[in-house]
Structure 1
């Protein structure tokens, strides 16, 4: 049996009467990229600070490679941390920045020089040791911050929203860079972010967090296509959402009458949903297909016609907003990049359809 690099069991942190983290448990296998994804204030950073040793949990356990670290101070834990603002020392050159931790450990100068040179090679910046921090690009600074941690050979590297201060294009580039660096070092990364794109692109597994608890842990594909809670369905990716009441159930398939009067077919995917329940259905924009006439969508369980009210151009992620002829809220539909629907205009009438299996349905919690 493989021992996880990191294991948190029933981790709880309270500040007075406020519960920041409540009974969170998870494992991170060796050499994997694990992300904690959630909105600001959900408890992500609190978990990270407890793992690093900056905060003591109210209850629960934290184990690294099978050994509890609750009694170990931060400088004695086999972890290191990359902060959002990187905290590089501007008065030092790059080599001295990277070697700082080794000097604190009393490592000899020749050994520091060797290790710093090796880690600079591994991050693809072998010739920048003599440069100053302000001479580097944003992406280079990110790699140096990681190198400064990795030269200490931690069992787990913690990353606290390290891309948050970068511009959009550099963030997109650094997502790929970070995943490549994690693979190159073969070190366990634990990454926290509120940006779903960062988590989906880089992670082997993701924990979606809300109000101090984990809603779901799974792969990016699991979270996107088979969300287990309404929060995950709405927070991860874009979805159309209808609320209403279930009017019939047959196995996992069901029919819901929305608050605006639409009859919609969905699937509970094994979740408990009963006839008469208040419920909601989530459908991804790309799951909805366009047609010019009723015959084009006749094979779908859900069929609507409507008029295009807006075009939201965003390259491959372009969308249209459609107002159903039968009334109700606008529907967001993925805009094809080619073919007859690639050049729709505002005011065009189209038909849309999707299968019941594409509609994730959840009974609404009451009380």
Structure 2
């Protein structure tokens, strides 16, 4: 099956600076693909090259199997939703959605039908006569998408469109965007620095760093099976320690941190040997907490300490546990059983985790 979007060896230089270097990927028809990375990593540059606002220094961009190099932005079968939605305040909702169709010369009857269909799909039927400033932030977001989708692009590009929304609305729009993508059955390419947005909405994600893709895969792949220290540290919350490998037996290693803490982890097939500096990552949810140290005897990583901070967030609450010597502080998810619902700063606790939950890499990753 021909991908809706294919970028091959894509490179973009600005003078002596390489913003994007040798990036290749494919996006299958009807999928939700995200590029996730920190500010300045090159993701917006890729988006602008796909849209036609920038030409690549090297490489090719194909949509539905056809190269769009040197094709003007308004001639490409793509459309783009920006963070600042740029809806026209002097037009009502129907006029906003139908704007591109009028520019194409479509007759009023067809425009009216397509606008009504779009409003139905975004779950806002009958609001065509309303003004932009009468809508909520989430409604404006859906109208901006409808304005793009009535033009029937092969690919819709979304440039951090949730960035200007408040937290609660942003959480709701994650689900709504995924539903809209399914409703329109159109390929979405989404860029963001927010890992939660990418994990919740995407079929596949590319994690980008310093102009290159570190790893591509499903959210589960990136979260549970990171291929680099950068991905392990960037995708999801994690505890990270650096230290020296003191023993390696098969996939298992023992590591002594800079603060003298002995940890046991797993290489998961990576090349690590005695004496090397290594990073070990452990997810907060992989760590168990107990009042009695004996309850954690089956774990090969065990630490006793006291709660230094309570990070209350309902079912997603966490604590920071300081080791008895005061040298380490570990982030731990609180269980939802309610057993620790009264835990407080200063309480003595014991924590433990299995060695295979410690994901180890050679030191030097970002």
CA contact (8 A) 1:120 1:147 kept: yes
User: Within 5 Å, which residues of 2 pair with 1:285-304?
Assistant: 285-304=284-303
Query: Contact conserved, 1:90 with 1:134, CA < 8 A, in 2?
Result: yes
Structure 2 SS opposite 1:169: helix
Q: CA deviation at 1:327?
A: 4.3
Deviation, 1:279, is: 0.3
What is the alpha-carbon distance in structure 2 between the residues aligned to residue 120 and residue 311 of structure 1?
45
| SS in structure 2 at match of 1:222 | helix
User: Is the 8 Å Cα contact of residues 55 and 70 (structure 2) preserved in structure 1?
Assistant: no
Q: Pairwise CA RMSD of aligned residues?
A: 1.1
The residue aligned with 2:258 is 259
Q: How far apart, in 1, do the equivalents of 2:105 and 2:22 lie? A: 39
Query: Given that residues 37 and 208 in structure 1 are in contact (C-alpha distance below 8 angstroms), is that contact kept between their aligned partners in structure 2?
Result: yes
- Structure 1, unaligned runs of 5 or more: none
Shift of 1:102: 0.8
Q: Could you tell me how far 1:326 is from its partner in structure 2? A: 4.2
**Alpha-carbon deviation of 1:365?**
3.7
**Cross-structure match for 2:18:** 19
CA positional deviation for 1:187: 0.5
Per-residue CA deviation, residues 19-65 of structure 1 (Å, 9 max, x unaligned), is 11111111111111011111111111110000000000000111111
Whether the 8 Å contact between 1:266 and 1:358 is mirrored in structure 2 is yes
Size of the alignment, in residue pairs?
365
Contact 1:69-1:77 within 8 A present in 2 as well: yes
Q: In the alignment, which residue of structure 2 is the partner of 1:188? A: 187
Match of 2:64 in 1: 65
1:1-367 equivalent positions in 2, closer than 5 A: 2-365=1-364
Deviation at residue 273 of structure 1 after TM alignment? 1.1
Aligned equivalents of 1:184, 1:317: Cα separation in 2: 31
TM-score by length of 1: 0.97
Q: SS where residue 4 of structure 1 aligns?
A: coil
CA offset at residue 68 of structure 1? 0.8
8 Å CA contact 2:98, 2:111 repeated in 1: yes
Deviations, residues 131-181 of structure 1 (Å, cap 9, x unaligned)? 111111111100000000000111100000101111111101111110000
Q: Which runs of 5+ in 2 are unaligned?
A: none
Partner-residue secondary structure (3-state), 1:72? coil
TM-score normalised by L of structure 2:
0.98
Contact 1:262 1:326 in 2 (8 A): no
Distance in 1 (CA, whole Å) between partners of 2:195 and 2:223 is 10
CA distance in 1, matches of 2:133, 2:74: 28
Structure 2 CA distance for aligned equivalents of residues 352 and 155 of structure 1: 51
- Matches of 1:326 and 1:246, distance apart in 2: 22
Q: Which runs of 4+ in 1 moved over 4 A?
A: none
1:117, 1:363 → 2: CA distance? 56
Asked if the contact 1:260/1:327 (under 8 Å) is kept, the reply is no
2:250 & 2:60 partners in 1: Cα distance?
A: 41
